[in-house]
Amino acid sequence: MRRRPSDGLLPLIAAGLVISMVLGGLLLIDGVEGGRYREQSFAVTTQQAAAVRARVEQSLNARLFLVRSLVAMVRGNPELTQGEFEEVAAAAAEGISGVRGLALARNAIATHFFPLAGNEQAIGHDLLADPNRRGAILEVIDRRRFLLQGPLPLLQGGEAVIGRLPVVLPDPGTPVVAREATSGSSAGSGRVWGLAVIIIDVETILREAGVVGGGDGAVEFALRGRDGLGASGDVFLGRAGLFGEAPVLADITLPNGSWQLGALPQGGWSRQSPHATTLRLLGVALAAACGFAAWRLVRDPICLRRDVAAARESVLVSERRQSMLVESVEDYAIYMLGANGAVASWNNGAFRIMGHSTEEVMGRSHALFYPPDAAQAGLPESELAAARRRGRHSVERWHLRKDGTRFLGVTTIAAIRPGEGAGGGAGEGSGDAQPLGFSVVTHDLTQRIQIESSLRESNRRFHDIVGVAGEFIWESDAKGRYTFVSERVLDVLGHSPAELLHCAMVDLMVPEDGVRVAALLRDHASTGRPFRHEEFRCLGKDGGMVWLWGSGIPVSRADGEVIGFRGVAQDISDQKLIENRLRRTVEKLERSNVELTRFAEVAAHDLQEPLRIMVSYADLLSRRYAGRMDKDADDFLGFIVDSSVRMKSLIQDLLRYSLIERSDPPASLADIGACIREAAAEFKDIVHAIGARLELPDWAPQVPGDVRQFTEVFRNLLANAIEYRSPDRDLVITVAVKPIGAAWELSVTDNGIGIEHQYYHRIFVVFERLHTQRTHPGTGIGLAICKKIVERHGGTMSVTSDPGIGSTFFLTLPAAAADEHGAPVALAE
Ligand code: ADP
């Protein structure tokens, strides 16, 4: 399925929306929670401030009540002694903490003190003499009302508030204290006796009220309004800055003014609740989780849709491929039948094998493909019934082509039932549902039958050949152990093929040859090349030695690894016997030839001397007695002289012939052009005299050999061409050169009398002549010498001739290795 661009975005948009919504909700909750927290915090602070204020007021009042008791006591007994005072004060202050002292000051001079111990110096102290307190004291006396001053630092250390209450006696007499008092006081009538004073430890009061060192520490307090001045007074407890941070304010009412209590939550007014961070983190996590869930919720159906579409597409592709595959199969006829046996599909293979086109068979009964006799016998129906019954039915039988010919083929009919794919025939006995149709696959066996037949024929041929072959045929594994040996081995080695199976071939050989052949097999296994004409000796079953001549080829697997060998071996024991005999004969011949040559040489040499004497004396006899004897005697003497001369030439030629092979030809190069030139120069005069033409090649090669002997060859050939020229025409002699493979062919052609075909070989034999001495004098050894010289140089000599037309003598000489040196041949005039 093609992926739409929106498919990837939609889940992300959904996730984004959900995350935004959750975060929005979170912000809202955070705002509400912050507000709620601030309100709660304010309420708690206010509540604590109110409680503290109440406790401070209560605590002060409780202590100030003591002063009132003192006033009552003085009013009852203005003349009370220190002792009485102390006793009453102790009783009154018992159980009340924070009272640093109680005092009476008659006429503003300290007269009584509790506790006296440690405060003796205070007795007699004129309170009006202290400028810091004078104003306050006068105000008490003047206005006759309770006045609280402080907190003040005490001489004894610490801070305290001092409460002063005027002691006014009830009688209307003259006021005792008149020195300083002003009239018009609001304390009612009576005479001012003095002052009752209480000194209260501030810290104790504030601690009891929970302002200092008490509470849960959640609220911070500060107090201002020293000397009861309220909001305008000094700050005497806590941070002065607290009052600038919008604290909760509570006025602590004093008898003559107020203190102001400031309260703030610890750390100030926080804008957010302490749980805000946790709440936000949880909110973000929740938003992420909700976003992810939304992404999955939106994405999964898209993926699912896409996967379903992709799966559908892949099924379609697969079906298309399958159908194309079926279509393209050519070796099998594949077609579908409906439930009633009518053709529903037809592939190329069916067309190729059966001959019907698709249009011709579609909708027609499959009985069309059965030979008429089979169709009439109801085979088409019975085969479908079998497939219907068992799910699948296979049969090998004759089929009918469109052109009426028949072929043997294998057909498999498979029933297609509901829920099964095409061609997915049920197994035997499976499924009771009626088939929707049938798939049919037919394979034409004709080709297979032909191949099997030709294989059988080929096997038979192989066995026949193996049976009659002179060689035995063998196969071995890579280590040279026989895996097959033909019957012939029984005749050759005396072992049956069965006896030789798995036996290493080298074990049958004489050790020396076995080692050689084992190395040979290893070599050829590594190169993969065949080996040919190897000779080796084996020991037959009877212990006799058998010479074998074998060839073989490595057998490789498809990956190139050599897995064995196969080859042939031939018994060459008889040949070897003949060969040995031949070699011995040749050696004998060579020896006798050497002896013969030696004999000819010696004979020719030794015969020359008596012959020369014979010739000399015959000549002397002829000259001295010619005409003095009768005619016959003269003739006889003439014969003796001629024969002696001829014998002399024969012996000299024989000596020349025998001397040819005295030594090997030299390895140095002989210039053939120079040899031809030298030989031709010797006949220059006669050629001129008889009006002959001598044609020489422009160029001739250099070949390894004897210059003198090559010159003699050309001398003999040119002499013969002149000797055996035709009387009917001018002589033309042509010497030519041409390369033939790795050799040079030199030829001497004349237009002389020619030679009969049957004498071609005779003329090269020593002393063989085709003419008499009278017509053509000669010894008959010239050509024999030529042939011997040429053969000694590794060449050959031959002749072709037409009697009455002319002859050509050919000599081939091996060319010098990698050499084409040569020289012009033209004769110097
Ligand atoms: P000779 O020439 O001495 O007889 P050769 O060995 O040279 O001996 O020749 C052998 C024979 O070959 C000759 O007697 C001759 O009959 C024949 N023969 C040689 N050369 C030619 C030639 N060019 N044409 C015809 N016959 C030839």
d(CA 160, CA 214): 19
Outline where DSSP puts E strands in 171-295.
Answer: 191-201, 219-224, 235-237, 248-254, 257-265
Which of 714, 755, 798, when mutated, tests ligand 1's pocket best, judged by the most ligand atoms within 8 Å of its CB?
755
Distance 775 CA to ligand 1 centre (A): 12
List pLDDT tens digits, range 744-763. Answer: 999 999 999 999 999 999 99
Residues 6+ apart with CB under 8 A from 112: 80, 82, 85, 86, 103, 104, 123
Spell out, as residue ranges, where the chain has pLDDT lower than 50.
173-187, 422-430, 828-829
Peptide bond into 115 cis (omega under 30): yes
Q: Ligand 1: distance of its center to the CA of 782 in Å?
A: 8
pLDDT given for residue 427 in this prediction: 45
pLDDT given at position 432: 65
Query: How far does residue 746's CA lie from ligand 1's centre (Å)?
Result: 18
Ligand 1 proximal residues by C-beta, below 6 Å:
716, 720-721, 724, 750, 752-755, 763, 769-771, 778-784, 807
Asked whether the beta carbons of 112 and 94 are under 8 A apart, the reply is no
Q: Using CA atoms, how far apart are residues 345 and 364, in angstroms rounded to an integer?
A: 11
Q: Which domains does the chain have, with CATH numbers?
A: 43-265 (3.30.450.350), 322-451 (3.30.450.20), 469-569 (3.30.450.20), 579-653 (1.10.287), 665-820 (3.30.565.10)
Q: What is the pLDDT of residue 458?
A: 92
CA distance 378 to 825: 99
Cα 11 to Cα 9: distance, rounded to the nearest angstrom: 6
Ligand 1 closest atom vs CA 716: 7
Predicted confidence at residue 182, as pLDDT, reads 38
Q: How far apart are CA 247 and CA 268, in angstroms?
A: 9
Q: Are 102 and 82 in contact (CB under 8 A)?
A: no
Residue type, 328: S
User: What is the DSSP secondary-structure string of 81-103?
Assistant: -HHHHHHHHHHHHTT-TTEEEEE
Pair type for strands 693-695 and 732-740: parallel
Bridge partners, 534 (sequence order): 550
Q: Which amino acid is at 516?
A: R
Q: How far is the CA of 726 from the centre of ligand 1 (A)?
A: 13
Q: How far is the CA of 770 from the centre of ligand 1 (A)?
A: 7
Atom 7 of ligand 1: nearest residue by CA position = 782
SS3 at position 344? strand
Cα(314)–Cα(32) distance, rounded to whole angstroms? 57
CA of 776 to the centre of ligand 1 (A): 9
Closest residue by CA, ligand 1 atom 21:
720
- pLDDT of 709 reads 93
Q: What is the pLDDT of residue 823?
A: 55
The rounded distance, in Å, linking the Cα atoms of 776 and 12 is 126
Rounded to the nearest whole angstrom, what is the distance from the C-alpha of residue 765 to the centroid of ligand 1? 11
Ligand 1 center to residue 597 CA distance, Å? 23
Q: Whose CA is nearest to atom 9 of ligand 1?
A: 780
- Ligand 1 centroid to Cα of residue 828, in Å, is 28
- CA 720 / ligand 1 centre spacing (Å): 6
- Is residue 124 within 8 A of residue 112, CB to CB? The reply is no
Whole-number Å distance, alpha carbon 762 to ligand 1 midpoint, is 10
Mutation probe of ligand 1 site: the residue of 652, 758, 769 with most atoms within 8 A of C-beta: 769
Q: Atom 16 (ligand 1): residue with closest C-alpha? A: 770
CB 180 within 8 A of CB 128: yes
- Full strand arrangement of the beta sheet holding 219-224: 235-237, 219-224, 257-265, 248-254
Count CB atoms within 10 A of the CB of residue 455. Answer: 10
Q: To test ligand 1's pocket by mutation, which of 712, 720, 723, 759 has the most ligand atoms within 8 angstroms of CB?
A: 720
Torsion, Cα of 26, 31, 37, 38 (10° steps): 160
Q: Which atom of ligand 1 is nearest to the CA of 721?
A: 23
Order of strands across the sheet with 482-485?
482-485, 472-477, 562-571, 545-556, 531-539
Our mutation pick for probing the ligand 1 site, out of 770, 786, 810, counting the most ligand atoms within 8 A of Cβ, is: 770
Residue 700 C-alpha from the chain's centroid: 66
- 661 Cβ neighbours under 8 A, 6+ residues apart: 597, 788, 792
